[in-house]
Structure 1
Amino acid sequence: MGKTALLAEVTRVARVAGIAAFTGRPHPADGDLAFGAIVDALDGPLSATRSGRLEGLTAVHLDVLAAVFPSLAAGAGAPPEATAPHRTGHAVRVLLEVLASSRPIALVLDDLHHADAGTVDVVSRLMATPPRAPVLLAFAHRPRQASPRLRAAADTAREVTRLRLQPLAESDALTLVDEDLPAEWRRDLYRASEGNPGYLGALTDLLHGGPPGIDEADIAPVPPWFASLVTTEVARLSATGRLVVAACSVLGDPLTVPLVAAVAELDEQDAYPAIDEIASHDLIRLVAGTGRFEFRHSLVRRAVYHDVSPGWRLGAHARVARLLTGRTSGVAGSAVEGAVERAPHVTRIATSRDLGAVALLAAAADDIETACPRRAAQWRRAALDMLPGDLASDLPGDLPGDLLGDDDERAGGRVGLLLALGRACASAGQPEQASDALAEALRLLPPGVHGLRAAVVAERAHLLHDLGRSGEARVLVGAELAHTRHEADRAALSYEQAWLETVSGDPATACDDAARAGRMADRLDLRLLDCAARGTLAVAAVLSGTPSAGRLDELPRAAAVLGALTDDELAMRPDAPLWIGWAVLLLERPHDAIQHLDRAVTVSRSAGRWAVECHALVARVMALCAGDRLTAAQESADEAAQAAWRSGSATLRSYAQAARCLVAARMGDLDTLRRRLAASGPPVVRGWPGALAAEMVAEARLAAGDPDGCRSLLEIAGEERAAGPAAGVRRCGLLARAALDAGRPDVAGRWAAAAEALAARFEAPAPAAVALLTRAQVLAAADATAGAKAASDAAAALDAAGLTWDAARARSVGEALRRCGPPGDRPGAAPLTERERQIAGLVSEGLKNREIADRLYVTQKTVEMHLSRIFAKLGVSNRVGVARALYATSVKPG
């Protein structure tokens, strides 16, 4: 609990107990307004107090108080020209005693480290001589920033209970952070906040505000509310103090007085008193055991930095750069270290044609790219801005010499920087900037550069797709393919065209592209590309409804080839195991799919390919859910959300959220499910993966008791192609269940018939089994015997297909129907335990989980556990379904 929250709780408890609570705090905007916090707390109540209540005050007291409180000034005698501090403190103490004569009161003052001298004197006297009445005094301050007078009063007071706020524990702090963030990001946020809730709030606001722009990555602005607090602190410094703290903010930690003095253009002896002043306000702190200082927190430094006038700031950067250059010149082994130290200043002051600065920034970016890709991107962009086209050849480029013709060698340095910039932006979760950098590189790369152009086109196509610009990506790949004659490039681009058509275009067209890419890759012995093409061909064949046209024959061989490769080899193309895994999953072999998807997750994570990792994890969630391995599915869904965060793609975040909703629905965790649905918003339905996401959320909405929401999402998803032979059948099944929950058995029957007709088109056993399960659920209310047999047959077929979750649902439906028999034959018989019958009956009466828990003297979690079992046993997905099932099978609540 933070300081402000603690005082708010004191106030709340006081008022609940019938104690009048007066609260106040200094208003920094009012400058040194005398007695500011005291006036803020008491002047309002005094203006509303009847004069009779103040009869205990003498005329002298009233005169002294009238000089403090505006509400008492009217009608009072002329206040003395100079009131001794002890007289004011005494008068306030008497005032509190008078106010507490009829009921206890609490005086709560916050932020006393900002208080004026008058307020500090009154508070100190109240602590030394407390009111002789039922008065609770609660004061809060930052000890490091408090005045010596206030600290001494607190240290010497006899009747003071001191509550020293400790940093938040990590477990408590992480409850304030978005759980979708990658786990290491959440831990980093906690460490960066040092357990301070204010810092944690500012850091979280920055994160949700989006990544900083390329030009401000090394010292991004802070939230306005935080900047205002720090600006107020700086305003209390002297003019020299403000100058020196500005120099400190430009220089950055660690701070040495001689260097700070040089940046501030002060004599060193004049800088020491200013440093003392700044440290007394706790803006900077001495590093123990050294002669160096550092800012109280990096956020404080950033707030100070962005409040400095820009012209002076640029001059200060230039002075720092010169000082650091002189310090590292001629020192062996200091080149890279010096580059990293100087880069933040060079980015802001270097001018065009400064090739030394370009080389320095490139070296610094190389050194930090893994740890700080966002900052590396900033420095690479700055280097590009300094490198005009006519000077590009003067800087050695990152490209191998044989990739460029004699006439195109000038572009080498710029292209190398652009490619590195694109890589850094992609790693930093800035796909838009990464795409722009690669587009500029392609403009400069000559057509004859084999291998590299195709690779850049492929990378940009992936970025465009993740940004929701799949049409643009297809045009890009198609145009490059039309102008390429190099066979290896044509094979790679044909593959790119195939997967783009598969996920967002025409799967039938994708089959031809993938087959062509596979043949060329096989002829050129490009094994990884061949495997990826075969996997894409299999997925496209399934999606286009032509899985038996000889297009799956090579899938086992491709899977075997991938299995023989090391993770390092697969890292060159982690999408190869992803496509093999998707193909096997869509063929309704979830157990076999998991091993391929696991490889895809491992290699894409090590290569920093966040989009591939996210797709693989979402597919893994589906496979694990099909196998009823829900705990593992929940872990994969959380990891998918984290990978989506890293990618910076809103589309991928939508897919990951859909997976989390599905898992919560399957686990029967209704509270988590509703929270996920509320937080995720409508899924991004774009192409086949978007249709899958919509279907996952549709099932989740049905489980949450929203059949209309389920139906509307499925209608949107229906505009995209069905994902696999069983996908259309599943969609019909969901629509049938939604109709049943909405009280429309006739509509449910039509959807069951549609599922059966669709399943008959496929040779695979899984679609027929899913359709049979749908029919069993529809039969439940009308023909229990036939429904039980259908459910039993469906369970056997689903077990054989490895669809364990569906098989369990089928068995639950069959068991319920067999025990109940035809409606009305066996009233009172039910497949529910006595406790489950109780809970089902209370649900049918409309009671909520908390109300049921209170009625039965159990926990809410226990009710949720029983309710999930009831759903499974009755073959329903929500509370309305429970009530209808009880009615349809004549089950009487126990």
Structure 2
Amino acid sequence: MPLVSPSATMVGRDIELGLLERAFDRAGGGEPASVLVGGEAGIGKTRLLAEFAQRLDERATVLTGWCLDYGSMPVPYGPLPAIVRGALEALEDPSAEAAGPGRAALRLLLPELGEGPIDRSAIAPEGLGEAIADVFEAAARRHPLVVVVEDLHWADPATLSILSFLLRALARERVMFVLTCRTDEVGRGGAVRTFLVGAERARLLDRIGLERLDAAAVRILAEALRGGVDDAAFARMLERSEGVPFFVEELSCNADGPIPDTLREVLLARFDGLGDDAKKVVRLASASDGSVSHDLLATLAGLPDERLDEALREAMVASILAVRDDDAYGFRHALLREAVHDDLLPGERGRLHRAYAEALEARPAGECSRASELAFHWHQAHDPRRALTAAVQAMTQARTAYAFSSAARFGELALELWDQVPDAAELVGVPRIALLMRLGSILRNAGDTERALSVVDLALAEADEHTELGLRVRLLRDKAQYLQNAGRSGAIEYAQKSLALMDDDFDDQRLRASVLVLLAGRLMISARFDESEAAASDAIRIGESIGSDSVISIAANTIAVCQVERGDLDSAYAWFRRSWEHATDNSAKLKYRVNYSDALCLLGRNHEAIRVAEEGVAHARALGLERTSGSILTQNLVEPLQQLGAIDRAEELLAGDLAVRTHRIFRVYTTASRIKALAWRGRLDEAVSLRDEWRARVDAAAEVETQVWYARLKTALDIEMNAGRDDAAAELLEGLLDAPGDLFAHFARLLGESGWTVAALRAAGQHARAAALADRLVAAWDALPGGLRHPHWDPVLRALLHPTADALRAALPHADDTDAPVLHAVLVRLELAKAVLAERGDRAEAVEALAAASAIAERVGHARLARDVADFTAASGLAQGHSRGDGAELTERERQVLDLISEGRSNREIADQLFISIKTVSVHVSAILRKLGVASRTEAAARLRAGV
């Protein structure tokens, strides 16, 4: 039979190829353009990508990696080493300098990047994803990048986590991800299905589904494969293949022989045509889900070099084996491997896996996947003793590499094998309870909190008075942590049980301090401030006795937050100063900046909050933690920016943060800020949709963190007010006054922003309800600790609640303070215009106030307030007053800005077009409005079009 490559021609995929090419063009322009190519086994996914890569020619760097099938125990990060290595080669950067601060993390994938043991303690869990993202970004700056991940249905959870991160982190870079997957083999509830649902819902992936070929396409393919086909052979091929390209290829090679009725029979009939040596080699290779090196095959086969070469050549000519990019041998299609492996007798299969395991054990230690492969092969060889040893080692390796989901799988296997090995504890050097404790921690970090709770409960049930005391303490502490992470009650109680076990003679004071710090934090979050401060004070005393600055700093930080919520600001600031004095390590410094920036924003010190948060973001970035610890600091930066009206920058920061993966509790806060931004812009449908999508998660978080309760209420107020549902907003405030909660600072913040609702009720003619609500709000405000009644908020709130022209004029300088919320400047001017008209009919002052209010609302892009100002201006008959400008001529730059305004450009777009800052654009816009005597950008554009 003449040798014809089964991949000589691709047919019937022009549409799909066009979709890939258009996606690549979008990616080249910095648009999100990643693709999932899905379909049943043999449908032609890999062949399509080969054609796509060929079409790209020199326009892109194509990097490919394969997910490997290790049954229930996939190897962590299976496809990533080959891909990252290829990116470094494309950069001509063998030392991986492009990885920046995260360079050391790449050694988890590429040990050759350094000498000696890897210092895993210095690598943060998120550092690996950051490092890969940095390398890809650098490569994409040189050349558009196409990253191909084959066989996603076999992806391990660690790989899925990294891919989820990269899809978000690189969505705007010149990087296109192409993932192939047997979507019909992805089961419900599995990690791959969860990944795909999340990615497609977030619009990170476009799906290209490959369907079976029609009769015309099958004929073209069959003729290309065979060099011609008669009608009888074609009819049989079409019937048996059902249009699956792989089946057509398989059948075309065996067209003159008996054709099996099933795919397995077709594959085995092809396998049966091999000689004995080739069969032996193929059977050997079938025990490995991935590629097999020549050396390993030679060891297992025991054939002379020439016979081994001939056997491999025969298997390759038959298109059963192929040489992969790593110069190792793999099956041309996974179904071939499965068919051969499944055809082995049980005894043959067990002996083959044992041979693999023994060959791997004879290799030098230190190979990244060695323990995981050994665990798989010894388990398949029914050797529980060796499988247990390897599983524990694989669990440890995966945990230290932060591949927690994979570590959990091996830990579960170890637990399954434990009872089959009589001396398991002595064999692995770990008591069963200690293994359970480790597994619980791994499951928690893998996100399986409920399973972590089940494991720690099992460990606690097995613990007795003979169990080492420190282990029992840690188990109770761990259960407290897991309950907290699961959003369930009981965390405080279990932390207290953990403390109760440690009597005065307990000598592990660091452990005692860790439990106290945990308890203090949980009590603080639950607004039990007296108890929180007592626990934190105990932790400080221990920290001082053992010389732990970190314990002192974090505990002092907790006390400071308690004092803020009590309204004792002098004490709070003193505790924050002490926290910073003892913040000698990175963890304490980041915790300080998180809590202090949040407190400053809460208390209205917005510019200071921005400075501290920016320092924290920079610190997190330097540590490679920008997308994790940096996420909550980004939120603490966004909130004061929104208060000050820097909405463009806030949205830019949110877009970057929301594009990457972070902790769920952090996402609760950034999602609230995103909802606020959408409502601010008037995009209410999107705001409500996002609120509804996150409602369950926010409700659960509110049960764990009291401040989330206030954030949830604030989000509801943002939506109702910006939607014009003032009655609903008033009901929310009335409910708050009935049950203000225990966080005085958060309560004060909501009261300080309540003037808008009362003003909106008055504007709607609900004067009685507005007056009653205003009286209640003033009473609640007056009852607050003095430190929480911010000196710039107090006169503004009182003026908005009980407006008079004099009170509003007096409030105006406070509303214009550099730290004041920008919306106060709009509201005070709008209410002043109403008051001067009502009290004295002063149209000139009203016109001036409305013009300024309109300009500010327009500048910050606040849809409802801009509309309210315009509506009142029109209703009061003051619109004509705006036609009087100051008579000054527009400068050349102002005319350029006005031209762009008339095109509907935003301030951001104008800044980009003219290469100036957004702030400078805002100054020019305000000057244009003043000189033209108009109230809005729309009017300015109309004046330009009218030739004025």
Question: How high is the TM-score relative to the length of structure 2?
Answer: 0.56
Shift of 1:757: 2.7
Partner of 2:945: none
2:792 matches 1:810: no
8 Å Cα contact 2:477-2:494 kept in structure 1: no
Asked whether the equivalents of residues 630 and 667 of structure 1 are also in contact (C-alpha less than 8 Å), the reply is no
Q: 1:272 to 1:693 in 2, by over 3 A?
A: farther
> Hey, what does 1:251 align to over in structure 2?
288
Which residue of the other structure, out of 517, 521, 526, is the alignment partner of 1:504?
Answer: 526
From the CA coordinates, give the structure whose radius of gyration is larger. Answer: 1
TM-fit CA distance, 1:549:
10
Amino acid at match of 2:388: V
Deviations 1:103-162 (A, max 9, x none): xxxxxxxx9x89xxxxxxxxxxxxxxxxxxxxxxxxxx959799xxxxxxxxxxxxxxx9
Q: Give the SS at the match of 2:502.
A: coil
Letter in 1 for 2:194: G
Q: Does the 8 Å contact 2:714/2:750 carry over to 1? A: no
Instruction: Say whether residues 1:342 and 2:374 are aligned partners.
Output: yes
Is 2:164–2:195's contact at 8 Å kept on the other side of the alignment? no
Distance 2:723 2:517 in 1: 43
Q: Distance in 1 between matches of 2:446 and 2:688?
A: 31
- Alignment match, 1:531: 553
Distance 1:446 1:581, change over 3 A: farther
> For 1:2-47, what per-residue CA distance to the aligned partner results, in whole angstroms no more than 9, with x for missing partners?
954688999xxxxxxxxxxxxxxxxx99x9xxxxxxxxxxxxxxxx
Q: CA deviation at 1:822?
A: 1.5
Contact preservation (8 Å) 2:440, 2:451: yes
- The residue number in structure 2 matching 1:689 is 707
Whichever residue aligns with residue 557 of structure 2, its letter is G
| Cα deviation code 1:149-190 (max 9, x no counterpart) | xxxxxxxxxxxxx9999999999999xxx9999653546899
Which residue type is aligned with residue 669 of structure 2?
Answer: Y
- Once residues 171 and 765 of structure 2 are traced to their aligned partners in structure 1, the CA distance between those partners, rounded to angstroms, is 50
What residue number does 1:385 align with? 416
- Distance of 2:439 and 2:51 partners within structure 1: 43
Structure 1 residue 507: Cα displacement: 3.4
Moved more, 574-583 or 551-560: 574-583
Shift in alpha-carbon separation, 1:271–1:491, aligned structure 2, 3 A = closer
Deviation at 1:265, TM superposition (A): 15
CA deviation after TM superposition for structure 1 residue 694, in Å:
0.8
How has the CA–CA distance of structure 1 residues 680 and 580 changed in structure 2, closer, same or farther, with 3 Å as cutoff? Answer: same
**CA displacement, residues 721-744 of structure 1 (integer Å, 9 cap, x when unaligned):** 657544323323545424544626
- 1:323 corresponds to which of 355, 358, 363: 355
| 8 Å contact from structure 2 (residues 293, 327) kept in 1 | no
2:719 to 681, 686, 701: 701
**Is residue 542 of structure 1 aligned with residue 543 of structure 2?**
no
- Taking a change above 3 Å as real, the CA distance of residues 532 and 207 of structure 1, as seen in their structure-2 partners, is same
1:70-90 CA-to-partner distances (Å, cap 9, x unmatched) read xxxxxxxxxxxxxxxxxxxxx
Helix, strand or coil: the match of 1:859? coil
The residue number in structure 2 matching 1:772 is: 795
Whether the 8 Å contact between 2:678 and 2:686 is mirrored in structure 1 is yes
* Relative contact order, higher structure (CA 8 A, sep 6+): 2
SS at match of 1:251: coil
Change over 3 Å in CA distance of 1:435–1:364 after alignment to 2: same
Give 1:367's aligned residue: 397
Look up the equivalent residue of 1:328 and give its one-letter code: L
| Pairing 1:763–2:786 present | yes
Instruction: Indicate how the Cα distance of structure 1 residues 609 and 462 shifts in structure 2: closer, same or farther if over 3 A, else same.
Output: farther
Q: 1:468: Cα distance to partner?
A: 0.9
Aligned to 2:135: none
Q: Is the 8 A contact 1:759 1:768 kept in 2?
A: no
Return the match for 1:561 from 558, 578, 582.
582
- Offset, 1:381: 2.0
Measured after TM superposition, the shift of residue 701 of structure 1 is 1.3
Inter-CA distance 332–165: structure 2 relative to 1 (3 Å threshold): closer
Cα contact 2:567–2:786 (8 A) shared by 1: no
**Residues 861 and 591 of structure 1, relative CA distance in 2, 3 Å threshold:** closer
Paired with 1:791 and 1:377, the residues of 2 have a C-alpha distance of: 60
The residue aligned with 1:403 is none
C-alpha contact (below 8 Å) 1:604/1:612 kept by paired residues: no
Output the CA distance in 1 between the equivalents of 2:748 and 2:356.
69
Q: Distance in 2 between matches of 1:286 and 1:270?
A: 14
Secondary structure of the residue aligned to 2:716 is helix
1:661 and 2:675 are equivalent in the alignment: yes
Instruction: Provide Cα deviations, 1:597-617, integer angstroms capped at 9, x if missing partner.
Output: 678775799698998766555
Q: What's 2:751 paired with?
A: 732
SS of the equivalent of 2:194 reads: coil
CA distance 1:581–1:173, change in 2 (3 Å): same
168, 180, 194: which is aligned to 1:210?
Answer: 194
**Is the aligned partner of 1:514 residue 2:547?**
no
Cα 1:293/1:473, change in 2 over 3 Å: same
Q: Distance in 2 between matches of 1:491 and 1:604?
A: 29
Distance 2:580 2:709 in 1: 26
1:286-309 Cα distance to aligned partner (Å, 9 max, x none): 4369463466xxxx85x9989999
Question: Residue 394 of structure 1 corresponds to which residue in structure 2?
Answer: 426
Q: CA deviation at 1:383?
A: 1.8
Q: Which amino acid aligns with 1:378?
A: R
Q: State whether structure 2 residue 903 is matched by structure 1 residue 858.
A: yes
Q: Which residue of 2 aligns with 1:242?
A: 267
Deviation (angstroms), 1:442: 4.6
Superposition pairs of residues 58-137 of structure 1, within 5 angstroms: none
Shift of 1:688: 1.6
Residue 789 of structure 1 corresponds to 810
Q: Which residue of 2 aligns with 1:67?
A: none
Q: Name the residue aligned to 1:69.
A: none
SS at match of 1:196: strand
> Structure 1: which amino acid aligns with 2:561?
V
Render the CA deviation track for 1:839-872: whole Å, top value 9, x for unaligned: 96899689xxxxxx9xx96337479999x999x9
**CA offsets 1:577-603 (integer angstroms, 9 cap, x no match):** 645555555555455556776787757
Preserved contact between residue 376 and residue 387 of structure 2 (Cα < 8 Å): no
1:826 alignment partner AA: R
What's the % identity of the aligned pairs? 17
Secondary structure, aligned partner of 2:431: helix
Secondary structure of 1:395's aligned partner: helix
1:106 match: none
Is structure 2 residue 387 aligned with structure 1 residue 357? yes
**Is 1:184 aligned with 2:166?**
yes
Within 5 A, what are the aligned runs for 1:399-438?
412-438=430-456
Residue equivalent to 1:468: 487
Secondary structure of the residue that 1:252 maps to in structure 2?
coil
Structure 2: give runs of 5+ residues left out of the alignment: 1-12, 22-38, 63-139, 148-159, 197-206, 214-240, 252-263, 272-281, 873-897, 911-917, 927-934, 940-947
Cα distance change on mapping 1:208 and 1:450 into 2, 3 Å? same
- The Cα of 1:368 is off from its aligned counterpart by 3.9
2:353–2:377: 8 Å Cα contact kept in structure 1? yes
Contact 1:285 1:294 in 2 (8 A): yes
Which amino acid in structure 1 is aligned with residue 418 of structure 2? L
Give the Cα separation in 1 of the matches to 2:556 and 2:737: 27
Q: Report the Cα distance in structure 1 between the residues aligned to 2:367 and 2:350, rounded to whole angstroms.
A: 19
Question: What SS is found at the alignment partner of 2:785?
Answer: coil
The letter for the 1-side match of 2:423 is L
Separation of aligned partners in 1, 2:815 and 2:49: 71
Rate the CA distance shift 1:679–1:550 in 2: closer, same or farther, 3 A: closer
The secondary structure found in structure 2 opposite 1:485 is coil
CA 1:600–1:688 in structure 2 vs 1: closer, same or farther (change >3 Å)?
farther
- For the residue of structure 1 that corresponds to 2:551, the secondary structure is helix
Instruction: Specify the alignment match of 2:639 in structure 1.
Output: 622
2:556–2:575 contact (8 Å) kept in structure 1 = yes
1:376 aligns with 2:407: yes
Per-residue deviation at 1:787? 1.9
Q: Partner amino acid for 1:196?
A: V
* Unmatched 5+ stretches in structure 1: 11-27, 32-110, 115-140, 147-161, 213-222, 398-411, 847-852, 874-881, 887-893
Give, in whole Å, the separation in 2 of the partners of 1:584 and 1:191.
Answer: 35
Pairwise CA distance, 1:344: 3.7
Q: How many residues align?
A: 675
Tell me whether 224-233 or 518-527 shows the greater mean CA deviation: 224-233
Task: Decide whether aligned partners of structure 1 residues 271 and 484 sit closer, same or farther in structure 2, where only a CA change above 3 A counts.
Answer: same
Q: Which amino acid aligns with 1:497?
A: L
